[in-house]
Amino acid sequence: MKDKPVILVVDDEPQNIELLEAFLIPQGYEIVKAANGEEALRKLSGNQIDLILLDVMMPGMDGFEVTRRIRQDNTHRLLPIILVTALRETEDRVKGIEAGCDDFISKPVDKMELLARVRSLLKVKAYNDLMSNYRKELESEVTRRTEEIKHAFERIKVASLETIYRLSMAAEYKDKDTGAHIKRMSRYSAAVARRMGLDESTIETILYAAPMHDLGKIGIRDLILMKPAKLDPVEWEIMKQHTVIGAKILKGSDAEFIRMGETIAQYHHEKWDGSGYPNSLKGIAIPIASRIAAIADVFDALTSKRPYKELFSVEKSLAIIREGRGSHFDPDVVDAFFAIQDEILTIKKKYGDGLD
């Protein structure tokens, strides 16, 4: 890991580079220098650069062209570029934005403005690097665990519902109520599907598939899963990935209930009005099994204690479900849910003790 952020300073006037060095080096930045566009591209390929301060008016390749060439390399797609220029016309600024720069600093350079813009863009770079590194680690871990879980599922072609419950618990094994949650939401889903008139084969498939809705949480760090407070924006983006991870784990099976499990895992956080994730699907574009699993999952989450919340009363939970009709939930699914409210509460009581 680097001790200092590295800034590539590109200018054909040595005195301009010296001035920028005088501003930046005392602030703890490491400077790499280039006198023209061609040298800048060579230095960029040979060094781990965090930000570029790029003069616009240079002989040969100007700053606009250098910016365009940098952006053509996907490796540097998010590398912060600040154009340092005496040009003040709007069309010149537009030209820089179209080329792919992130910001401008006017000459003569003001020290405080320079440091503020550099610090701001380096924070953005650090966030992007964090997310990129996490995705790489996650992909590697998911690939490894996907193979393990696929092999496990293939060995149980004719799996019992109890086995599916216990395999699904692997994603959230630290939650003492996970077994009860999986069993309840599976039964809720099947009951709602039956009320909606789905055929018995589909109802049974939903019963077997619904427990796998949160399987992707196996790829989410415990410190996020078990955080006893609201997740910050970065943590929330990571948490949302459990839908994609779960679908990836289940993808490619010949078993019908696992294929439906893949669908439910990926889309059970989509919302009727299109405000859900991961694909912002809307209305009937959301698969019916996922629409049913969504209401079952939310109701059980509301009436259960979580690391970040106390349980809500049944009355308050039902009110929240009712308020979500037509926004969060499919109206027809909500109507079916309330039509069997007594059955739902019986299931909640019956399976309140989990797997024991």
100 and 183 part of one domain: no
260 and 301 part of one domain: yes
Residue 142 belongs to some domain of the structure: no
Task: Tell me the pLDDT band of 328, cut-offs 50, 70 and 90.
Answer: very high
Instruction: Please say whether the beta carbons of 57 and 87 come within 8 A.
Output: yes
| Chain segment 52-100, per-residue pLDDT in tens | 999 999 988 999 999 999 999 888 888 999 999 887 778 888 888 999 9
How many domains are there within the chain?
Answer: 2
99 and 11 part of one domain: yes
Residue 61 belongs to some domain of the structure: yes
**Enclosing domain of residue 21:** 6-127
176 and 106 part of one domain: no
106 and 162 part of one domain: no
| Chain segment 332-342, per-residue pLDDT in tens | 999 999 999 99
Evaluate if residue 252 carries a pLDDT over 80: yes
Task: Please compute the mean of the pLDDT values over residues 141-168 and round it to a whole number.
Answer: 65
172 and 307 part of one domain: yes
Would the pTM of this model clear 0.75, i.e. be above it?
no
120 and 26 part of one domain: yes
Residue 337 belongs to some domain of the structure: yes
Residue 100 belongs to some domain of the structure: yes
175 and 309 part of one domain: yes
| Chain segment 175-185, per-residue pLDDT in tens | 555 667 888 99
97 and 161 part of one domain: no
Among 88, 109, 127, residue at a domain's last position: 127
306 and 180 part of one domain: yes
| Chain segment 287-315, per-residue pLDDT in tens | 999 999 999 999 999 998 776 678 899 99
Evaluate if residue 158 carries a pLDDT over 70: no
Among 110, 127, 144, residue at a domain's last position: 127
What is residue 166's predicted lDDT score, i.e. its pLDDT? Answer: 56
For a pLDDT cut of 90, what percent of the chain falls above it?
A: 59
Here the CATH number for the domain that contains residue 301 is: 1.10.3210.10
Here the CATH number for the domain that contains residue 104 is: 3.40.50.2300
What is residue 353's predicted lDDT score, i.e. its pLDDT? Answer: 46
Residue 305 belongs to some domain of the structure: yes
Instruction: Please say whether the beta carbons of 249 and 145 come within 8 A.
Output: yes
Q: If you average pLDDT over every residue of the chain, what do you get? A: 87
50 and 97 part of one domain: yes
57 and 122 part of one domain: yes
What is residue 113's predicted lDDT score, i.e. its pLDDT? Answer: 93
Residue 146 belongs to some domain of the structure: no
Residue 68 belongs to some domain of the structure: yes
Residue 141 belongs to some domain of the structure: no
What is residue 121's predicted lDDT score, i.e. its pLDDT? Answer: 93
Tell which wins on pLDDT, 9 or 221.
9
Evaluate if residue 355 carries a pLDDT over 90: no
For a pLDDT cut of 70, what percent of the chain falls above it?
A: 90
Among 127, 145, 169, residue at a domain's last position: 127
Evaluate if residue 186 carries a pLDDT over 70: yes
